Amino acid sequence: MARGADLHLHSSYSDGTFTPREVVAQAARQQVSPIALTDHDTVAGIPEALQAGVEMSVEVIPGVELSAHEEGHDIHIIGYFIEWEAPKLQRSLDALAERRLKRVNEIVKRLTDLGCPICLEDVQAVAGHGTISRRHVARVLVSQGYARSISKAFDFYLAPGKPAHVDPVGFSSLDAIDLIGHAQGISALAHPMRSKALSMLPHLVNQGIKGLEVYHPSHTTEDIFILAKYAHQHNLIITGGSDSHGEGTGGSRIGNITLPQKYADDIKKCGEHIRKTSRK
Ligand code: AMP
Ligand code: MN
Ligand code: MN
Ligand code: MN
C-alpha cells in the first residue's frame, strides 16, 4: 500500500542527480505511488521512467515542468499525463533547448570576463543528455574551484541581479498552458509562493490553467491552507510533490512531501476524462 503520491520529481534529464530508473527505484523503496516525472523543459526521461515503473510496480505519470515568463514574472507550469510524443510539444521543447544553450553560452562569456574562465563544453558535459541550466554552470564553478558551493555560485554570480545573470528563456504562460493542453495534459502552477507567482493566478486561470501545486516543501501549513482554499474557490485541481532533485542537492527527498491519495485520484480521473473526450 502506497503512502501517498509525489507528483513533482526531477531526473538527470534536467537538473536532478538520479536517472529516471533511480527515481522510480527510490519511490518504490519509499512506497510512494503514483509519481510524476516533471523534468524542466524536456520529456526525454519519460520512456525510461515508464519502463522502470512497470518493472517496479510504481505508477508513473508522464509530466514536464515548463519555464514560462509573463508580465516580468518567472513561473513554472507543470503538465501531467502529457502525450510526450506529440510532435508539436517535441518541436517546441527542441526550440527552447537551443535558446537555453545560447543563454548558457552568454553566462559562460560573462563568467570568463569576471575571472572565472570556464568553457561551454564543460557545462555541456555536466548537463549530459539533460536540459542545460544555470544549475549545471554552478556545478562547473564548484568543481573548478570558482565557488565553494552551488548556492554560493548563485549568490555570487548566477542569481538575478548578480553579474553573470542573463534573463531566463521560456514560453509565455499562454503558450505553456496551450502546449500542455494540446498534448492532452493537465496544467498546474508549480510552487505558487515563489517569485510572487500566486499574484499571477487569476490571469493564469483566465488562460485555462487547471491545477495548483498546494503541497510543496517550501510551503508552510498556513500556505497549504490558503492555497487549498484558493483551489476550491477557483475549481482548480490540487497537486503537489517533493520537487526532489536527487542526492547532494540540498533540497527535498523523494516522498518527503506526498500528495494525499484522494487528490492523486482526482488528477487521474481528470486525465482519463480528457483522454476519453478527445477520442470522440
Ligand atoms: P535555469 O532554468 O537555467 O534558470 O536554472 C534554474 C535552476 O537552477 C533551478 O531549476 C534550480 O535547480 C537551480 N537554482 C535556481 N536558483 C538557485 C539557487 N539560489 N540555489 C541553488 N539552485 C538554484
Ligand atoms: Mn531545478
Ligand atoms: Mn520549479
Ligand atoms: Mn521542479
CA distance 199 to 197: 5
Mutation test residue for ligand 1: of 8, 133, 151, 152, the one with most atoms within 8 Å of CB: 133
- Cβ 8 under 6 angstroms from ligand 1: no
Ligand 3 centroid to residue 267 C-alpha, Å: 19
In the structure, ligand 2 is a single-atom ion and the residues with CB under 5 Å from it are 15
Ligand 1 centroid to residue 134 C-alpha, Å: 6
- In this predicted structure, what is the pLDDT of residue 248? 75
> Are the C-beta atoms of residues 259 and 240 closer than 8 Å to each other?
yes
Residue 13: closest CA among 93, 86, 89: 93
The answer to whether the peptide bond before residue 34 is cis (omega within 30 degrees of 0) is yes
- Cβ 157 under 6 angstroms from ligand 1: no
- Cβ 150 under 6 angstroms from ligand 1: yes
* pLDDT tens digits, 197-206: 889 999 999 9
* pLDDT tens digits, 247-279: 877 788 999 988 999 999 999 999 888 888 887
- In this predicted structure, what is the pLDDT of residue 3? 86
- Cβ 136 under 6 angstroms from ligand 1: no
Collapsing DSSP to helix, strand or coil, 70 comes out as strand
Ligand 4 centroid to residue 279 C-alpha, Å: 31
Mutation test residue for ligand 1: of 13, 75, 134, the one with most atoms within 8 Å of CB: 134
CA distance 271 to 239: 13
- Cβ 133 under 6 angstroms from ligand 1: yes
- Nearest atom in ligand 1 to the alpha carbon of residue 100 is 3
CB neighbour class for 130 (10 Å; exposed up to 12, middle 13-18, buried from 19): buried
- In this predicted structure, what is the pLDDT of residue 197? 86
Cell of 207: 488562460
- In this predicted structure, what is the pLDDT of residue 63? 98
- Cβ 172 under 6 angstroms from ligand 1: no
- Cβ 151 under 6 angstroms from ligand 1: yes
Residues of the chain with pLDDT under 50: none
CA distance 75 to 192: 8
- Give the DSSP letter string of 144-210: TTS-SSHHHHIIIIISTTSTT------EEHHHHHHHHHHTT-EEEE-STTGGGGGGGHHHHHHTT--
- Cβ 159 under 6 angstroms from ligand 1: yes
What is the pTM assigned to this prediction? Answer: 0.95
- In this predicted structure, what is the pLDDT of residue 280? 58
